[in-house]
Amino acid sequence: MTVQIGIQLYSVRDSLARDPEGTLARLAELGFTRIEGANHQALTDPGIGFGITAERLRTALDRNGLQLVGSHINPLDPEILGPVLDFHASIGNPAIACDIEFYPYGDLDYVRRRADVFTRVGEMCAERGMVFAYHNHFQEFQEFGGATVYEHVLENTDPALVKIEMDTFWMYRAGQDPLEWIRRYGDRVILSHQKDFPAGLDEPLNLYEGVVAKDAVIDMDLFEEVKNEAAFTEIGTGILPIQDIIDALDALPAFRFLLLEQDHSALDELESVARSRAAFDRYANISFSA
């Protein structure tokens, strides 16, 4: 088997905002065949973000030989989610994910209530033939109630309805070993985000080593404050053990796609994506072809 590679559209969000169809065409020219959306405006836009209608998206996907393999949806509110999921079912999207959904965490009861919401969203997705996955950042590895927030979320959700989209970069930034988490929860891991961390950065890989307190109340303001734009580099050019991650994911029973994602770059977005695509040619056991 091989690990199927795609790209998370957050990597080219500014380009998409300017020219959705042109950006999708350029991604196809670079050799990408799978894309994952990033919609953080679900209250007003039911799609993959950037104001792309279902008809425009289907046309662009077909024209460029692209496959939509998932989309992030925020906010994740069951009260408004029905029409959003109907939109995604209509365009053949098989997976919905969420991220940065309920920071700061507050207390254990709050985390468990949010876990109940995730299970309900999983039910709503399943009713439409879709799957729901939870995506981590570094905050989920704060500890209280005898475990990490991540463990509380996973242990208090239905494994059949709430899967995992594992962001290995953010795990490393929390001082965690994603290979260990893959071994522990591998039957639930269906998607993964792969970023990379630059060599020589004057900042520890683990944010909890002097950048942010392990018990800090991490709201969005603090998250953005500690999210150093220089801590992202083109994927495959940094220090993370990407081949080890690929090999671990390849052994999983239900894994679908590894999605390249870069939050920030000193380069033009599409140039950055092109460099990551080229760098990935050195890895074994992967495929960009649909």
pLDDT exceeds 90 at position 87? yes
Contact 279, 234 (CB under 8 A): yes
Model confidence pLDDT, tens digit, residues 74-83: 988 888 899 9
Supply 85's token pair: 């999921």
Which residue, 215, 98, 248, is CA-closest to 148? Answer: 215
**Apex 11 CA angle, 104 and 187, nearest 5:** 65
Mean pLDDT of 183-194: 97
- For strand 143-144 and strand 147-148, is the pairing parallel, antiparallel, or unpaired? antiparallel
What's the chain's length in residues? 290
pLDDT at 90: 93
Which residue, 154, 144, 148, 164, is CA-closest to 115? Answer: 154
**Apex 69 CA angle, 50 and 153, nearest 5:** 90
Mean pLDDT of 269-285: 97
Model confidence pLDDT, tens digit, residues 248-264: 999 999 999 999 999 99
pLDDT at 50: 85
pLDDT at 103: 76
Domain chopping of the chain, boundaries: 3-287
pLDDT exceeds 70 at position 102? no
More confident residue, 89 or 107: 89
CA separation for the pair 32, 20 (Å, rounded): 15
- For strand 286-287 and strand 131-135, is the pairing parallel, antiparallel, or unpaired? unpaired
- Which CATH number applies to 3-287: 3.40.630.30, 3.30.930.10, 1.10.645.10, 3.20.20.150? 3.20.20.150
Which residue, 220, 238, 224, is CA-closest to 169? Answer: 238
pLDDT at 187: 97
CA separation for the pair 39, 46 (Å, rounded): 8
Residue type, 259: L
pLDDT over 90 for what percent of the chain?
Answer: 89
pTM of the complete model:
0.96
More confident residue, 154 or 80: 154
Give, for 169, the enclosing helix (H) or strand (E). Answer: helix 168-173
> What does the mean pLDDT of the chain come to?
95
Spatial neighbors of 182 by CB under 8 A, at least 6 apart, are 166, 189, 245, 248, 249, 252
